[in-house]
Amino acid sequence: MALKNFAFKVLKKDKFARSGVIETHRGSINTPAFMPVGTQATVKACTIDDIKKTGSQIILSNTYHLMIRPGVERINSAGGLHKFMNCDLPILTDSGGFQVMSLSKLNKIDREKGAIFNSHVDGKKFYLSPEESIRVQLGLNSDIVMIMDECPKKTIDYDLIKKSMDLSLYWAERSKKAFGINRHKGLFGIIQGGLFKDLRIKSLNELMNIGFDGYALGGLAVGETQQEMFSVLDDVKEYLPDDKPHYLMGVGTPSDILGAVKRGIDMFDCVLPTRSGRTGLAFTWEGRINIKNNKYQNDNTPLDSNCDNLNLNKYSKNYLNHLFNTNEILASMLLTLHNINFYQELMSSIRDNIETGTFDKFHDKYIDKL
């Protein structure tokens, strides 16, 4: 049977906020969508079956980590990433550029060779060119592939950001050529340019000339304020193509997501709900809760009475407080699942309010609360 081609359709708009659907041969993804992060072929402390029960329709994994451990050949021997991790959901893989910047002990950027770096695990030297990044992602059998880019640290040095952007555009051309024709997969370009409007627009225009299946904003979530991030989105929202998905990489808090959806973003990923779940921080419709706080020791109410999926409300704050303060593994499992479920309920509510034309009201109610 022929594989379904990658496609995207906008279903409803409420000013710049939009609901839509991404079609892949592994399933449909309703947008705006949040992708739980399964960096090393697992969403920490969760099974794929539990992830699916939250309403998650796609997850993210990472080229950098998987090429270091366990290695692409080992994953290929299992039949690709989906079979390796027993996941039948679509998977988006990041190119590895951000991790080279943030994790590797030593790295050198070469225009032709790409990123030359030493593994943060054992110091082994790796070469990650645009072509190699695409080869690895196709080898993993990713459904959405990200181009190789350079993600600079936050800086106000215009010349440095421009130089990095120009390099990323050169690598974008090479990534597109290496990807070839794969109509049942999506290849996304990554808009760079720091906090500078002219560079962001130039980057977007050049990427649109090359032609991609979706457009991501990179180089954010690297230390800028929320208002700086929103300003970048305001700068580009009128120029982003209507017929392609818009992806804000590495973001973010529920408040970040609300503000970004208002500015035309369709896709998000972030480790925050899972990392917070492992450290005792819960996201609820009434705000954040540090469940390790002593005030919950005798609180037998559920974590969030408004969040009733998965029957998680049968666990009281009292019990969860006990689990965290005795370092029980179940604590991380339950709170991680709760947080992912909350994020998916947030995305569902966002889509519903876009459909009914009430997104601005919903945004204003929760932007400072969540």
Residues annotated as catalytic are: 94, 269
Q: Locate tokens 């000013």: which residue?
A: 15
Rounded Cα gap, residues 96 and 64, in angstroms? 4
Rounded Cα gap, residues 332 and 323, in angstroms? 9
Element counts in the chain: helices (H) and strands (E): 14, 16
Structure tokens at 326: 């005795």
Q: What is the CA radius of gyration of the chain?
A: 20
Q: Which DSSP state fits 297?
A: T
Q: Are 158 and 195 in contact (CB under 8 A)?
A: no
Rounded Cα gap, residues 94 and 61, in angstroms? 7
Rounded Cα gap, residues 165 and 154, in angstroms? 13
Rounded Cα gap, residues 245 and 242, in angstroms? 8
Question: What b/e string do you get for 61-100 counting C-beta neighbours within 10 Å, with b at 16 or more?
Answer: bbbbbbbbeeebeebeeeebbbebbebebbbbbbbbbbbb
Instruction: Give percent helix, percent strand, percent coil of the chain, each to the nearest 5.
Output: 40, 20, 40
Q: Which of 138, 142, 154 is nearest to 98 (CA)?
A: 154
Q: 3-class SS at 266?
A: coil
